[in-house]
Structure 1
Amino acid sequence: MTVRNEDVWVGIDLGTQSVRALVVTASGDVAGAGTRALTGRRDGPRHEQDPEDWWTAVSAACREALRDVPPEAVQAVAVDGTSGTILLTDDDGRPLTAALMYDDTRAAEYVEQVNDAGGEVWRKLGYQRMQPAWALPKLLWLLEDHGGDGARLAHQADFVNRRLTGHAVAADLSNALKTGADLVAEAWPGEAFDALGVPADVLPPLERSGTPLGTVCARAADATGIPAGTPVIAGATDGCAAQLGTGRLAVGSWNSVLGTTLVLKGVTDDLVHDPFGVVYSHKAPDGRWLPGGASSTGAGAISRDFPGRDLADLDRRAAGHEPAAALAYPLVPAGERFPFLAPDARGFRLDGTGDEADDFAAVLQGVGYLERLCFDHLDLLGAPTGGDLTLTGGAARSEYWCRLRADILGRPVVLPRQAEPALGAAVLAASPGRDVAEVAGRMVAVRTVIDPRPGRTGVFDGPYLRLVGELERRGWLPAETAAHARERTSR
């Protein structure tokens, strides 16, 4: 659509495979969109991208998105990025290193050192321990590999924000969580960083998401088409932006993003503490908390195990296998992160019949069972889970799978009309000086609500508990979570 005399906000999503720019009105109408592909380099535990490619893609995507938008309509811009992706830059923001991506684990040898130095802080923040792919171990690796003289830490969003403003910028607390920021104090934990030998001048200042960072400079305006002087607002991780993009920000609301893997994020008043170390909490712009976790199960198991198949046809055939004869734990990569931590976990399928439709149904149901187990674990921790549940991600395009998940979970699911991280970034761009929940509520429209079919939840109780037992028997699922899942099922 072409905007006439209507304000718009720009959200930029820095994904793994592409950059997405979305231009959105206050009522959630999309005035323009642009996408440009990204490429990376993978080699065993290493996953890198060239930061300059981000800026090239951002410039092209924004120009495409703003092609039919009057310059005077653009009110602000915000950027989200992949969580835990960092690099080192010089004082002028030029990259000194490649970007180590969110799932790069080359710095695993530094994790014990990081947890020894900062364990007290990590426990206060509720997640207990850092993991190999988190940003702080990677920062230590970069500083040792490159040397720290004159180097500056930049998260993915920081790098782009610096290009937009033309000067050094603060990092948002959301992206800084996995780099060790103390989200309670809203500061870097000095003693822990001193113990790790991280110089203070390597670290950017910190601000909450939704805080103005500067304005678009003339050089960036020429590159992107975003008018010079447009406010640049602190963004968030892509997962938090996706949560904001659902429009459901009341306490107890949750968003389940089912793409290649499964990511679950919610809203709480209080910080959630997880003694098992699988749930971690970001801080919302209004000071509330956004707890959640990322599983290694997801729709990636379908693209891997059913390549090139007609998925709509398989959906129709799977409906005749409720529950499936087979029981599947459909891991995508090896190792599980949520709702339990088990690096040695491996996917499995039991009692397969050789019937393709039954095997497909088992995968769909298995992901639903893991999603249900995530909620059982969150309930065990005392997190409120009774609010709206939105389903987003590529799997939300399957109406059958959404209905199946509603049946397995025994609760209604909300499907937003337009749900993506770039929309959440646009919400943040529009949020300074306003209630972010109200902004999101106006910008995000509901496409449909799917209620569980009467009596269908009980159909899946037996296989769900069987999977719980299998995960516990193999030593992956803690007994406390397994017992709580059984207790909730029996209510």
Structure 2
Amino acid sequence: MSVWIGIDLGTQSVRALAVAGDGRVLGSGSRPLTSHRDGPRHEQDPEQWWRELAAATREALRGLPPGERVEGVAVDATSGTILLTDSRGNPLTPALMYDDRRADAERVNEVGAAVWERLGYRRMQPNWALPKLLWLLRDAPRDARPAHQSDFVNRRLTGHEVATDLSNALKTGVDLIEERWPLEVFDALGVPARILPEVVRPGTRLGTVCAAAAEETGLPVGTPVIAGTTDGCAAQLGAGAQQVGSWNSVLGTTLVLKGVTKELIYDPLGVVYSHRAPDGSWLPGGASSTGAGVLSRDLPGRDLDALAELAAARALSERAAARQGPAPAVTYPLVSRGERFPFAAPAAESFTLGDPADDVERYAAILLGAAFVERLCFDYLDLLGAPVDGEVILTGGATRSAYWTGLRADVLRRPVTLRENAEPALGMAVLAGGDPARMIRTRAVVQPSGADLREPYLRFVAELEERGWLDARAAAHARERTAR
């Protein structure tokens, strides 16, 4: 039997899965990672990545029955994480993680403005990889070269220099349209072309596992090493959102949407940006600052499962009695100050419309608000011309709540799909060569109940517009689309 190894190299841990061709997980392993945080500083030790990746992979392989053939391995990593290595791949600096904000993006945006505009995201943020690369290069030796998180471990796996993938290189300024580095920009920034790695699409073969890596990881010598992607794109692959018009909505601490389009989506507000898929299509998406993280903040110590049961029972009772009571309370569930998607509003703050009578209503208001933000994201994507009529696949911690899943289907007014397993590591096993049609299994398709939540949704949209956060054109489109 053939087996594919997917590795998810995250912030807090590294996880490895050994996946059979039919999607069964034959083995898994996980190891924790530690960070060093201090204000805007967030660093990790690249050598720890390798040690813990090797341990997690050995654990995942330990339970394989005799005769299993490992066909490939791929690694995803956090987007925007970067370090400097020497010419042999040894780290010269700690890794500056995806949210390290010590760099300044002003010079990068001044020099690269035309390219960033053409690529649709318009401006880089200080925590993106290119500003951090300039910060790292200030006092670096001549042989220093950049490496993304996945590049570092892929070089260890193969034993030689490797190309970087377009997905991890996005925040380092790669031209995703021409699939090359914009050397004129890098030259103006003082970054020599000789230190930049080759760029390939995710899914490209980078080499094979060398003898030294085989001894440490347990992977057979000669196993193909496949170029991975970012953790967000890996989760999208694991969810099976690979057809044009399909979307993966990940609702955990915060909300992230990623979909598939034929053409690059241009967003005048710059809140949507696109990765490049292995087949050359585009993967637009955005990350909101709203989500389930508000529950533990606003309802500390409460049994959320019990609140979900009570909220579901009340909703069912009201539908059965066909009562027309007051409009439900709605909370805009910002985890922290400022919104990123479906609009950019640095001053945005959480608020509640209505007056929840108790913790059950407060809980329901948060869940309803998160569903409304999700709906508004789809309305905004539709305004930009993105196809949003395909399958909607829900993943993330919120899918553990049947009540919340049903509520989201009602707000979206369409069926939503749940998968048996949608881990980023599964997405990497698929990218390593597995058949997604066989490896990605559907757990359930949840149909909307018929509850009409359009009036409170439009009230929510109007409030966001009145506060000056939501663009008037986006608000008008949400109203028009809701009336269809």
* Both proteins in one fold, TM over 0.5: yes
Judged with a 3 Å threshold, the aligned counterparts in structure 2 of structure 1 residues 222 and 113 are, in CA distance, closer, same or farther, namely same
Judged with a 3 Å threshold, the aligned counterparts in structure 2 of structure 1 residues 356 and 203 are, in CA distance, closer, same or farther, namely same
The residue that corresponds to 1:478 in the other structure is 471
- TM-score relative to the length of structure 2: 0.95
Equivalent positions of 1:78-227 (< 5 A) are 78-107=74-103, 109=104, 111-144=105-138, 146-147=139-140, 149-227=142-220
Judged with a 3 Å threshold, the aligned counterparts in structure 2 of structure 1 residues 306 and 16 are, in CA distance, closer, same or farther, namely farther
Deviation of 1:55 (Å): 1.0
Are residues 1:278 and 2:274 paired? no
Query: What is the CA–CA distance in structure 1 between the aligned matches of 2:187 and 2:471, rounded to whole Å?
Result: 35
Query: What is the CA–CA distance in structure 1 between the aligned matches of 2:173 and 2:183, rounded to whole Å?
Result: 10
Query: What is the CA–CA distance in structure 2 between the aligned matches of 1:340 and 1:148, rounded to whole Å?
Result: 41
Higher mean C-alpha displacement, 366-375 vs 88-97: 88-97
Deviation of 1:408 (Å): 0.8
Equivalent positions of 1:402-441 (< 5 A) are 402-430=405-433, 439-441=435-437
Deviation of 1:272 (Å): 0.7
Aligned counterpart in structure 1 of residue 387 of structure 2, from 379, 384, 408 = 384
Contact 1:331 1:346 in 2 (8 A): yes
Judged with a 3 Å threshold, the aligned counterparts in structure 2 of structure 1 residues 104 and 354 are, in CA distance, closer, same or farther, namely farther
Query: What is the CA–CA distance in structure 2 between the aligned matches of 1:471 and 1:47, rounded to whole Å?
Result: 33
Contact 1:25 1:443 in 2 (8 A): yes
Query: What is the CA–CA distance in structure 1 between the aligned matches of 2:179 and 2:78, rounded to whole Å?
Result: 20
Deviation of 1:311 (Å): 1.7
Judged with a 3 Å threshold, the aligned counterparts in structure 2 of structure 1 residues 71 and 202 are, in CA distance, closer, same or farther, namely farther
Are residues 1:19 and 2:14 paired? yes
Q: Percent identity?
A: 66
The residue that corresponds to 1:53 in the other structure is 48
The residue that corresponds to 1:448 in the other structure is 444
Contact 1:19 1:36 in 2 (8 A): yes
- Secondary structure of the residue that 1:93 maps to in structure 2? coil
Equivalent positions of 1:357-372 (< 5 A) are 357-372=360-375
The residue type equivalent to 2:446 in the other structure is: I
The residue that corresponds to 2:404 in the other structure is 401
Deviation of 1:354 (Å): 4.9
The residue type equivalent to 1:16 in the other structure is: T
Judged with a 3 Å threshold, the aligned counterparts in structure 2 of structure 1 residues 388 and 98 are, in CA distance, closer, same or farther, namely same
Are residues 1:311 and 2:304 paired? yes
Equivalent positions of 1:332-371 (< 5 A) are 332-371=335-374
The residue that corresponds to 1:42 in the other structure is 37
Query: What is the CA–CA distance in structure 1 between the aligned matches of 2:130 and 2:459, rounded to whole Å?
Result: 38
Deviation of 1:288 (Å): 0.8
The residue type equivalent to 2:208 in the other structure is: T
The ranges of structure 1 where at least 4 consecutive aligned residues each deviate by more than 6 angstroms after the TM superposition are none
Query: What is the CA–CA distance in structure 2 between the aligned matches of 1:477 and 1:20, rounded to whole Å?
Result: 38
Deviation of 1:324 (Å): 7.0
Deviation of 1:71 (Å): 6.8
Deviation of 1:148 (Å): 5.1
The residue that corresponds to 1:435 in the other structure is none
Contact 1:256 1:389 in 2 (8 A): yes
Judged with a 3 Å threshold, the aligned counterparts in structure 2 of structure 1 residues 67 and 307 are, in CA distance, closer, same or farther, namely farther
Aligned counterpart in structure 1 of residue 25 of structure 2, from 30, 38, 47 = 30
Higher mean C-alpha displacement, 181-190 vs 240-249: 240-249
Query: What is the CA–CA distance in structure 2 between the aligned matches of 1:178 and 1:213, rounded to whole Å?
Result: 21
The residue type equivalent to 2:14 in the other structure is: V
Query: What is the CA–CA distance in structure 1 between the aligned matches of 2:33 and 2:14, rounded to whole Å?
Result: 7
Structure 1 residue ranges without an equivalent (≥5): 1-5, 432-438
Structure 2 residue ranges without an equivalent (≥5): 319-325
Judged with a 3 Å threshold, the aligned counterparts in structure 2 of structure 1 residues 118 and 427 are, in CA distance, closer, same or farther, namely same
- Secondary structure of the residue that 2:280 maps to in structure 1? coil
The residue type equivalent to 1:66 in the other structure is: L
The residue that corresponds to 1:434 in the other structure is none
Higher mean C-alpha displacement, 241-250 vs 277-286: 241-250
- Secondary structure of the residue that 2:381 maps to in structure 1? helix
Higher mean C-alpha displacement, 307-316 vs 204-213: 307-316
Query: What is the CA–CA distance in structure 2 between the aligned matches of 1:372 and 1:132, rounded to whole Å?
Result: 29
Contact 2:228 2:428 in 1 (8 A): yes
Higher mean C-alpha displacement, 239-248 vs 315-324: 315-324
The residue that corresponds to 2:322 in the other structure is none
- Secondary structure of the residue that 1:33 maps to in structure 2? strand
The residue type equivalent to 2:31 in the other structure is: R
Contact 1:248 1:440 in 2 (8 A): no
Query: What is the CA–CA distance in structure 1 between the aligned matches of 2:473 and 2:27, rounded to whole Å?
Result: 49
The residue that corresponds to 1:436 in the other structure is none
The residue type equivalent to 1:427 in the other structure is: V
Equivalent positions of 1:314-325 (< 5 A) are 314-319=307-312, 320=314, 325=328
The residue type equivalent to 1:138 in the other structure is: K
Contact 2:81 2:129 in 1 (8 A): yes
- TM-score relative to the length of structure 1: 0.93
Deviation by residue 1:179-223 (Cα, 9 ceiling, x = unmatched): 110011100001111111112123211000000001111111111
The residue that corresponds to 2:73 in the other structure is 77
Query: What is the CA–CA distance in structure 2 between the aligned matches of 1:277 and 1:358, rounded to whole Å?
Result: 35
Contact 1:324 1:358 in 2 (8 A): no
The residue type equivalent to 1:121 in the other structure is: V
Contact 2:299 2:359 in 1 (8 A): no
Query: What is the CA–CA distance in structure 2 between the aligned matches of 1:307 and 1:223, rounded to whole Å?
Result: 44
Query: What is the CA–CA distance in structure 1 between the aligned matches of 2:401 and 2:337, rounded to whole Å?
Result: 25
Deviation of 1:39 (Å): 1.7
Give the RMSD, CA atoms, in angstroms: 1.6
Deviation of 1:147 (Å): 2.3
- Secondary structure of the residue that 2:176 maps to in structure 1? coil
The residue that corresponds to 2:321 in the other structure is none
Query: What is the CA–CA distance in structure 2 between the aligned matches of 1:339 and 1:258, rounded to whole Å?
Result: 14
Deviation of 1:36 (Å): 0.9
Deviation of 1:314 (Å): 1.0
Query: What is the CA–CA distance in structure 2 between the aligned matches of 1:355 and 1:98, rounded to whole Å?
Result: 48
Contact 2:251 2:395 in 1 (8 A): yes
The residue type equivalent to 2:337 in the other structure is: A
Higher mean C-alpha displacement, 305-314 vs 263-272: 305-314
